[in-house]
Chains A and B, each alone.
Chain A
Amino acid sequence: MRFINRHPGLGGRLLLALLPLILLALIYGTASTLRLADNPDDRLLPSLPQMADAVVRLGFTEDKRTGEYLLWSDTLASLERLGLGLSIASLAGLALGTAAGVFPLLGASLSPLLAIASMVPPLAILPILFIVFGLDELSKIMLIVIGLTPVLARDLEQRAREIPQEVLIKAQTLGATSWTLVLRVILPQLLARLLVSLRLMLGSAWLFLISAEAISATAGLGYRIFLVRRYMAMDVILPYVVWITLLAWAMDWGLRRLHRYWFPWSEGGRA
């Protein structure tokens, strides 16, 4: 049978999914053991127990200086920034995208502006943000907002344009005003799309967050990673990376579930 026609069974699928991960773990384990046998003080590839130690130290023992559990206070700080940034960017993106995509008069000004704004590399203006908004929370949240909003807005603008003209005409023949047309017909459909775009943008959001935290912060997952880098503390960095990945994956999963729950109609294709 041709390779293209061979499909894994249920058990096979699970096995094949786990296989690369197991291989990676094996390779890491071997390399780490070899290096540590060579030099017990090696920091580059810490062993599993060393990393577990670090997790217990950061996650389950009070920090002597601050009295906090660092892993959790870092997570809280990062998630707070991320949550605020994503929420503001979503609202702004939704408003701008709808305005540009639905109303020709507004779109004439907004579309070119958004097209330009989405080309500005957000990290390049990070220094400006630090100068304008200071080194505190605001500039980190603003980096996420500025990085995501134009892209979200353009995507939603495009989606708004893809809503068939017939649908907009129909709503008007049912007595809709511009405002109620947006409220009852456009926004519900764009909200469904927003959740999809957000999932795609999660990676960038984390990127912006960690970059900002790396440069200036007093807590946060990115801050911690860059802080302990000075001591080559791979035993901390690696679990933190795994934890961030896990958080990002959970957010993606949550958004997907939310999409399915809130917008059951959009899963079955268009009418």
Chain B
Amino acid sequence: MSFIEIRNVWQAYGDHVVLERLKLTVEEGQLCTLVGASGCGKSTFLRLLLGQERPSKGQLLLQGKPFPAEPDASRGVVFQRYSVFPHLTVLDNVTIGLELPRAHLTGRLWGSAKRRAREEAAQMLEKVGLGAAFHQYPSQLSGGMQQRLAIAQALIARPRVLLLDEPFGALDPGIRKDMHALLLELWRESGLTVFMVTHDLYEGFHLGTRLLVFDKVRIDPQAPQAYGARITYDIPLNSDRRQTREAIAALPPHVLDAINPVSQENHDER
């Protein structure tokens, strides 16, 4: 039995088909990167995994059981923006992830339990490099630091699956590199299963163990919304670099165009 199994999933809004015939099995601990043209349904796929929406057809299974139908602590998430609570300090933003699951009445811990939660949160923040910003509010942080905070917050709840929707899309290239290193380190340490949507093909194939390309197979020019995207390429990334390179080079040009060709040239040293 696979850790995650996607069984012939379709997602449509009215007669707008966004995703069709998704079939996928993912083992625990894989880091899947998702690429594809803008608007082809990558975020929609993450929403399905998150439980924010239900598929129109098909099933998503986690260890053989259907995914919980609403967001819960088994799946963590980092969005491109608005992932953290603006009214809490950095430390409280992470501490709340330890308080909410334990205090169902007030949502708060008190006394020594609170102190221990804070210490644990502080350790997590040190790990993501926010050791000096405990008492700042998110609006006082730079974009990169906000995303570090969002990652720390997502990880403190110890999810089994981590979903990242273009988490570094709004960051400068230099800062993005630091974030890649951080993400890889945390992923190796925790053994999490990660799905990460990215616009940046370099990011996709540098970070992932597996690259999933979303694309439309069928297109009806009269009715562009009649057919949805599928996973057209599923490229394993760790086994053999040369094979990977060849597989990526063999991607059809319209796919490569759609996903930020510039960054690929820039980082071809790999």
A residues with CB within 8 A of B: 164, 166-167, 169-177, 179-180, 183-185, 188-189, 192, 263-266, 268-271
Contact = CB atoms under 8 A, between A and B. Distances in A.
Interface SS, B side: loop
A225 B52 CA distance: 59
A41 B64 CA distance: 96
Interface in B85-139: 85-88, 96-97, 99-101, 103-108, 137-139
A174 B100 CA distance: 7
Nearest to B140: A268
Max chain B C-beta neighbours (<10 A), residue from A170, A174, A179, A185: A174
24 contacts: A164-B82, A166-B83, A167-B83, A169-B50, A171-B85, A172-B70, A173-B71, A173-B159, A174-B97, A174-B101, A175-B73, A175-B101, A175-B157, A176-B100, A177-B104, A183-B107, A184-B99, A184-B108, A189-B86, A189-B87, A263-B87, A265-B88, A266-B86, A271-B146
Contacts of A174: 73, 96-97, 100-101, 153, 156-157
Nearest to A184: B107
Contacts of B228: none
Contacts of A172: 70-72
Interface of B: 50, 52, 70-73, 75-77, 79, 81-88, 96-97, 99-101, 103-108, 137-141, 146, 153-154, 156-157, 159
The 8 closest A-B pairs by CB, nearest first: A180-B107, A175-B101, A271-B138, A271-B86, A164-B82, A172-B71, A166-B82, A265-B137
Given A170-B84, A184-B99, A271-B137, 15 more contacts: A164-B81, A164-B82, A170-B77, A170-B153, A172-B70, A173-B75, A173-B76, A173-B77, A174-B157, A175-B72, A175-B100, A175-B157, A180-B107, A189-B86, A270-B139
Contacts of B100: 171, 174-176, 180, 184
Contacts of A264: 137
Contacts of A171: 85, 100
A192 B87 contact: yes
Max chain B C-beta neighbours (<10 A), residue from A164, A169, A266, A270: A169
